[in-house]
Amino acid sequence: MADKISALKETGINTRLAHSGNNPSDFHGFVNPPVVHASTVLFPNARTMESRAQKYTYGTRGTPTTDALCEAINELEGAAGTILVPSGLAAVTVPFLTYLSAGDHALVVDSVYFPTRHFCDTMLKRLGVAVEYYDPMIGAAIESLIRPNTRLVHTEAPGSNTFEMQDIRAIAAAAHRHGCVVTMDNTWATPVYFRPLDHGVDVSIHAATKYPSGHSDVLFGTVSANVAHWPALTEAMVTLGVCASPDDSYQILRGLRTMGIRLERHQASALAIAGWLESRDEVARVLHPALPSFPGHDLWKRDFGGASGIFSFVLKADSTEKFRTKAHAFLDALSLFGLGYSWGGFESLAVHVNLSDRKVAKAPSEGPVIRLQIGLEDVPDLRRDIEAGFAAANAV
Write out the residues near ligand PLP by the rule CB under 6 A. 87-89, 113, 160, 185, 187, 207, 209, 219, 221, 342
Q: Which is nearer to ligand PLP, 76 or 109 (CB)?
A: 109
Instruction: Specify whether the backbone of 295 is left (phi greater than 0), alpha (psi in -120 to 50) or beta.
Output: alpha
Q: Which is nearer to ligand PLP, 187 or 348 (CB)?
A: 187
Nearby residues of 301 by Cβ (< 8 Å), 6 or more positions away: none
Of the candidates 222, 223, 177, the residue with the CA atom closest to the CA atom of residue 202: 223
Of the candidates 204, 206, 153, the residue with the CA atom closest to the CA atom of residue 181: 153
Q: Are 282 and 388 in contact (CB under 8 A)?
A: no
Q: Are 69 and 252 in contact (CB under 8 A)?
A: yes
Shortest separation between residue 154's beta carbon and ligand PLP, angstroms = 11
Using CB positions, name the residue nearest to ligand PLP.
88
Q: Which is nearer to ligand PLP, 22 or 160 (CB)?
A: 160
d(CA 372, CA 176) in angstroms, rounded, equals 36
Q: Are 108 and 160 in contact (CB under 8 A)?
A: no
Q: Which is nearer to ligand PLP, 88 or 368 (CB)?
A: 88
Shortest separation between residue 242's beta carbon and ligand PLP, angstroms = 12
Shortest separation between residue 183's beta carbon and ligand PLP, angstroms = 12
Shortest separation between residue 373's beta carbon and ligand PLP, angstroms = 10
Shortest separation between residue 199's beta carbon and ligand PLP, angstroms = 17
Q: Please list the residues that pair with 132 across neighbouring strands.
A: 107
Q: Please list the residues that pair with 315 across neighbouring strands.
A: 283
Nearby residues of 138 by Cβ (< 8 Å), 6 or more positions away: 145, 171
d(CA 132, CA 357) in angstroms, rounded, equals 13
Sign of CA dihedral 227, 73, 220, 92: positive
Shortest separation between residue 247's beta carbon and ligand PLP, angstroms = 16
Q: Which is nearer to ligand PLP, 206 or 326 (CB)?
A: 206
Q: Which is nearer to ligand PLP, 219 or 314 (CB)?
A: 219
Containing 4, the helix (H) or strand (E) segment is helix 4-8
Containing 51, the helix (H) or strand (E) segment is helix 46-51
d(CA 112, CA 361) in angstroms, rounded, equals 10
Q: Which is nearer to ligand PLP, 94 or 219 (CB)?
A: 219
Q: Which is nearer to ligand PLP, 138 or 207 (CB)?
A: 207
Sign of CA dihedral 117, 121, 122, 127: positive
Shortest separation between residue 195's beta carbon and ligand PLP, angstroms = 17
Shortest separation between residue 332's beta carbon and ligand PLP, angstroms = 22
Q: Which is nearer to ligand PLP, 19 or 221 (CB)?
A: 221
Phi, psi dihedral angles at 109 (to 5 degrees): -65, 140
Shortest separation between residue 207's beta carbon and ligand PLP, angstroms = 3
